[in-house]
Amino acid sequence: MIASVERSQVSGEVAVPPSKSYTHRAITISALGTGGSVKRPLLSADTRSTIAAAEALGAGIEGEEELLVAGVRGRPVTPDDVIDVDNSGTTLRIISAVAALTDGAVLTGDASIRRRPNGPLLKSLCDLGAEAFSIKKNDCAPLVVRGRIRGGRTILDGRVSSQFLSALLISCPLAEEDSEIVIDGELKSRPYAEITLEMLEEAGAKVETDFGRFFVPGGQSYRLERYTVPGDFSSASYLLAAAAVTGSRLVVRGLRPSKQGDSAIVTILREMGAKISWKEDEGDLTIEGGDLEGVEVDASLTPDLVPTIAVLGSLARGRTVVKNAEHVRHKETDRLSAMAVELSKMGADIEERADGLVIKGGKLEGARVSGHHDHRIVMALTVAGLVAGDTRIDTAESVSVSYPGFFEDMAGIGCRVQVGE
């Protein structure tokens, strides 16, 4: 599908969608425990993949605005068929580790998933007693997991994705024996691991850590009876950026302080010159855009913000630098390359580096650009189109991965955007 974007201003108010990261974890942990309810879940293509995978492993899940979960009480079953995660990397990594609590499973996904690396996770599952390998011997799906993790000690490479750590942290408490996970190198995207730990604690599990070493007692159980999913700062970044680059005033509802690393977008926008008033207890954030100034951003903890920051930098005065973002190359697409290529088509002065981007702000012009079948690329380029005008973005349907109502919400605050074949 093609999204056609014209120059626009935004105004009014909009409610941010629920967090994808919290929804994935709430579904999985509840399904592995006694069950319960997950209120205000994000129902997107990615989270529906996690629901389907949890059901394949024996859980019962029904509902829309509130998910009612019948849990497996620590005993997931061997699935009857291959688990297809579609485009969800989070589902692939977490459910691969959960599958190591069964007699075995095969997991695969779409073409993008079949290019994403999983070597550190496969190695750790083997260290902990399971047999886990890539059928094509390239560390990518299809993956086979056989046998069960018992516990033990593993050294996990932290430089590729924190999803590997989150997957182990969710599964290891249900192993028979204690587990020790030692992080080799810098732990990328640490806030996502902190979200996992927060939810495990809420479910009654215990993990000891200094973020260099994680000690996980075995023989634990989960009890997450009622959980309400918070708002998603990753999705909010596009709404906030839309106001910032168009010099508009917008109220975004549903944003309360959170362990989500992408809550850093609030600080970044303030540093760039946007005026922000945040009633944290009520969850209402008001932003007024205007002249933006370039900034330097360390993306090691906030990889999903990189496309948004690239657009902001392209429209800000001066120089914007994104660094420590090499792990962004291992997402749905190589997001550093994709943003450099597509914003260049729109006239941006942007240099791609091994670990980031250097952008000299200026004027963007309308162009035909590609969304690379990547929801975050599509949404970021939509924001760029609000200033450039006459912008056409392909693979627009990919927003269903994390923000199914994105174009409707954008139109509701005044954006001139249409989606069609």
CA distance 408 to 411: 5
CA distance 125 to 33: 21
pLDDT digits (tens, 9 = 90+) for 320-370: 999 999 999 988 899 999 999 999 999 999 999 999 999 999 999 999 999
HEC string of 173-223?
A: HHCCCCEEEEEECCCCCHHHHHHHHHHHHHCCCCCEECCCEEEECCCCCCC
pLDDT, position 283: 96
Give me the mean pLDDT over the 78-93 stretch: 97
For the chain, the structural domain boundaries read 2-17+231-420, 20-228
pLDDT, position 188: 85
Confidence category of residue 121, pLDDT binned at 50, 70, 90: very high
pLDDT digits (tens, 9 = 90+) for 144-183: 999 899 999 999 999 888 999 999 999 999 999 999 999 9
141, 109 contact by CB (below 8 A): yes
**Domain pair 2-17+231-420 / 20-228, same fold:** yes
**Largest distance between two CA atoms of the chain:** 59
Question: How do strand 35-39 and strand 226-228 relate by DSSP bridges?
Answer: parallel
Give me the mean pLDDT over the 134-141 stretch: 97
Question: Residue 401 pLDDT > 90, yes or no?
Answer: yes
25 is in an annotated binding site: yes
pLDDT digits (tens, 9 = 90+) for 248-304: 999 999 999 999 999 999 999 999 999 999 999 999 999 999 999 999 999 998 999
183, 190 contact by CB (below 8 A): no
Q: What is the per-residue burial (b if ≥16 Cβ within 10 Å, else e) of 358-376? A: bbbbeebebbebbbbbbbb
Amino acid at 272: M
Tokens of 44: 């997107």
Tell me which residue has tokens 């205000």: 40
Catalytic machinery residues: 304
Superfamily of domain 2-17+231-420: Enolpyruvate transferase domain (3.65.10.10)
CA distance 94 to 92: 6
376 is in an annotated binding site: yes
314 is in an annotated binding site: no
SS3 label, residue 362? coil
Residues pairing with 297 in the sheet: 322
415, 10 contact by CB (below 8 A): yes
pLDDT digits (tens, 9 = 90+) for 405-417: 999 999 999 999 9
Confidence category of residue 316, pLDDT binned at 50, 70, 90: very high
89 is in an annotated binding site: yes
Taking Cα atoms as reference points, which of 352, 330, 332 lies closest to residue 342?
A: 352
Tokens of 90: 């989070």
Give me the mean pLDDT over the 363-386 stretch: 97
172, 179 contact by CB (below 8 A): yes
pLDDT, position 377: 98
323 is in an annotated binding site: no
Instruction: Name the CATH code of domain 20-228 (choices 3.90.550.10, 3.30.420.40, 3.65.10.10, 3.40.50.280).
Output: 3.65.10.10
Measure CA of the first residue to CA of the last residue in the chain; give whole Å.
5
418 is in an annotated binding site: no
Q: What is the per-residue burial (b if ≥16 Cβ within 10 Å, else e) of 389-419? A: eebbbbbbbbbbbbbbebbebbeebbbebeb
Rounded percentage of the chain residues whose pLDDT exceeds 70: 100
∠332-337-343 over CA atoms, to 5°?
110
Q: What is the pTM of this model?
A: 0.91
φ/ψ of residue 214, rounded to 5: -120, 125
331 is in an annotated binding site: yes
